[in-house]
Chains A and B, each alone.
Chain A
Amino acid sequence: MSISSSVDPVTFEILSHRLHQITLEMGTTLERVGGTVNTTQMHDYMAALYLPNGDVLSAGESMARHAACAGFAVKRIIERFGKEGGIFPDDIFLLNDPYLAAIHQSDIYMVSPIHYRDRLMGWSATFVHVMDIGAMSPGGNSPGATEICHEGLRIPGLKLVEKGALRQDVFDTLINMTRQPVMVGLDLKCEIAANNVAKARMREMFDQYGPELITSVSSEMIRYSESILKRRIREIPDGVWTDSGAIQTDETWNVVLALRKTGDRLVFDFTGSDQQAKRGINLPYHATFGTCFEAVLTTLGYDLPRNHGACGPIEVIAPEGTVVNVRYPGPVSLNTTSGMKTVQYLSSSVLMQMLATSEKWQREVMALSLGFRLARHAGVNQYGRYYVSTLLDLSGAGATSYGDGMNTGGYLTAHNVEWIESNFPLFYLFRRHIKDGSGAGKFVGGSGAEAALALHDAPEGRIKVIAFGVAGLRNSGQGIFGGYPAAPSLLVLLEDTKVRDFIESRKYPKDLADLGGRRKLLPYCEIDLKPDGVLYIRSASGGGYGDPLERDPKLVAEDFSNGLISKETAEEIYGVILDENGLAPNLAATQNLRLRFRQERSEGVG
């Protein structure tokens, strides 16, 4: 696909990459200036550039669904402030209303007009997940919320910086309504800084190349992405693919999706999904749209400039009043790690089924995950200060048609254990790859991580833990084309354990069972972690691809040597008999066992 004759190809490449580079520098700014673990260590942010009308120009490398939603935020700001002539150079606006553009209130969008010689040339936007938003639960994710009014500040758009000057009264009012004013203040300022970086870099580009050329390149980038994406979609046979998922706790909420592909159009149809919940798992329409946009970009457009061009082939049907298009006043605070994970899985799953029908694209097929569990924790730390923070461990990636999934990988990164222990009253008993957690297959899913934590040096003798994520047990990697699902992601509270004995004797438990105590699976809830308690977090592992009986026996021996599977799993699932020390497979015995397993598949079936 060639680019249009108005821009020479070399200049196009240089400038389109330079725009992308600006979004990366914005991200680095967020990390360096921000204060919370989500921003500085976990990459839980977004930085992107937009056209003057709010269409995505460069979505950067962070979460593309947020880049799409922040585009809606820009449009809402233009509607609200544009008519009154209220958009000036060096203004910065803030918006976090999920009924307008945001996904949930904790994800605060900051958008800033980019002027050059007093002419509006575009916008920059960022989001970070602030560590409190004045909701009923510390940290914002509120399991007990049954309507949006329980979920904290909801701002439809306000001017935080006016003509380059911070509105201190507004800033102070905002942070004053949270439990963590200093940290939230740092996170708001890192967004201001990142938007200022975008403005400065864009103005340098305008100075160097002139605004006309940058405008031409911008239009060309979007046309280029859209035209290539449409050509790729046309190459795939037409068809319909379906899948369904569920979020389960005391109730079950089903999400169903049919993808209809005709020519160069992709219609994601969520008709038949359950009515909206009185729990914060619901998604606003723009979040469902943004998640489908992201799925298309990552499956078919991963090598293209990430911009509004990916919206061209997409239509998303999500009936109002359902879990994928919430109506006011439905709650949303848990949605990014529940409803959205389910939509992420489904939209990618139907695309994978579609790719598998194409000679050209079937190699790109990958097993997908239905989510994971994570927690916030809050209380008084060892320095006597109130805090709120996040506990997350990394998931394993799904296997592909050509190889194993990555262990503990993904777009989010995990926080540092020493950093957690030095800032919060917690002690890690272990953090490691999960043994026997990955989905089996010809290619195996990546291993997730598991961790166990106990209270340590907590002045109040307890902290609060808020459990969220995809509750239920089908919440991990799902296999594809015969590949097995991975072990469920879990949040478990062990009560009345022997953990103090272990800590006092400076020993660590080899296994969770060594700790004793009562085991309680945590649904969406708030609990107290006390001195004799242990919080266990098992993240998701990746799903497998294909038949485990087709896995190379040498790879099974390697998995065993690396501590990722047990000898029992090697034998019972892969049909591989290892030699005495487990270093190599016994090929003759393996062949016999696999033959027996294949014969057993048709036994006992009428």
Chain B
Amino acid sequence: MNRPLRENLEVYTNREGAWIRCTKCSRVLCPAGENWRNRCVRKLLPPAKGGPLMKDLAGHFLLEQLYCPGCTALLNTELVEEMKHGEEGRPK
């Protein structure tokens, strides 16, 4: 039996157990008890990628996006503090 987890993700159950998978492409991301975010394609973008008025956030926040590794469906968009991600995380 499947049940929704959030937009584009569901908990899918088969004989082996329960899994989190993409509803767009059926790609299994991880077992149901794990954090699906760790299995996504992750990009950190300059905040202005969220719109021209987001430029005030530059130097403080980045726009983090998580995509399904199977079909690149967008699963999450969030502002994250730039300091916590450091030079490595800063978009080129």
Contacts and interface: CB of A to CB of B under 8 A. Distances in A.
Chain B at the A interface: mostly helix, strand, loop or mixed?
Answer: strand
A29 to B, nearest CB: 41
Interface string B40-58: 0111000001111110110
B4 A437 contact: no
A482 B74 CA distance: 6
A568 B52 contact: yes
A212 interface: no
Contacts of B3: 237, 357, 359
B15 interface: no
Contacts of A326: none
Nearest to B48: A572
Interface in A490-506: 490
A602 B67 contact: yes
B57 A482 contact: no
B83 to A, nearest CB: 10
Contacts of A182: none
A487 B54 contact: yes
A473 B81 CA distance: 11
A234 to B, nearest CB: 15
Interface residues of B, number: 32
B87 to A, nearest CB: 17
A241 to B, nearest CB: 10
Interface in B23-75: 41-43, 49-54, 56-57, 60-61, 63, 65, 67, 69, 72-75
A255 to B, nearest CB: 15
A339 interface: no
Nearest to B71: A598
A546 interface: yes
Contact of B7 (A481, A487, A488): A481
B41 A601 contact: yes
Contacts of A545: 7
A362 interface: yes
Contact of A484 (B4, B73, B77): B77
Contacts of B56: 473, 487-488, 490, 521
Contacts of A397: none
Contacts of A237: 3
Contact of B4 (A358, A480, A482, A602): A358
B51 A436 contact: yes
B5 A357 contact: yes
Contact of B41 (A362, A479, A549, A605): A605
A401 interface: yes
A353 interface: yes
A551 to B, nearest CB: 12
A359 B53 CA distance: 36
B8 A481 contact: yes
A566 interface: yes
Nearest to A549: B74
B7 A601 contact: no
Given A436-B51, A473-B57, A566-B52, A601 B6 contact: no
Contacts of B65: 482, 601
Contact of A569 (B52, B61, B78): B52
A239 to B, nearest CB: 10
Given A481-B8, A482-B8, A436 B77 contact: no
A15 interface: no
A237 B61 CA distance: 34
A356 interface: yes
A547 B74 contact: yes
Given A359-B3, A481-B6, A487-B51, A605 B72 contact: no
A245 B80 CA distance: 11
Nearest to A605: B41
Interface in A469-487: 473-474, 478-485, 487
A434 B77 CA distance: 21
B5 A485 contact: no
A602 B61 contact: no
Contacts of A572: 49
A440 interface: yes
B6 A353 contact: yes
Given A482-B77, A487-B54, 18 more contacts: A356-B6, A357-B4, A358-B4, A362-B4, A437-B51, A481-B75, A483-B77, A484-B50, A485-B50, A485-B78, A488-B56, A546-B74, A547-B74, A548-B74, A566-B52, A573-B50, A601-B74, A602-B41
Closest 8 CB pairs of A and B: A487-B53, A481-B7, A482-B74, A547-B74, A601-B72, A356-B6, A484-B50, A436-B51
Given A488-B57, A546-B7, A605 B74 contact: no
19 contacts: A357-B5, A358-B4, A434-B53, A436-B52, A437-B53, A473-B61, A474-B57, A481-B76, A482-B8, A482-B73, A482-B76, A482-B77, A485-B54, A485-B63, A487-B56, A488-B57, A521-B56, A545-B7, A568-B52
Contact of B51 (A484, A599, A601, A605): A484
Contacts of A362: 4
Q: Quick one: which of A434, A479, A482, A549 has the most chain B CB within 10 A?
A: A482
Contacts of B63: 484-485
Count chain A CB atoms within 10 A of each CB in B8, B51, B60, B75 and give the residue with the most.
Answer: B51
A408 B76 CA distance: 25
Contact of A440 (B50, B57, B73, B78): B50
A167 to B, nearest CB: 51
A548 B74 CA distance: 9
Contact of A474 (B5, B43, B51, B79): B79
A457 to B, nearest CB: 32
Nearest to A482: B74
Interface string A592-606: 000000110110110
Contacts of B77: 479, 482-485
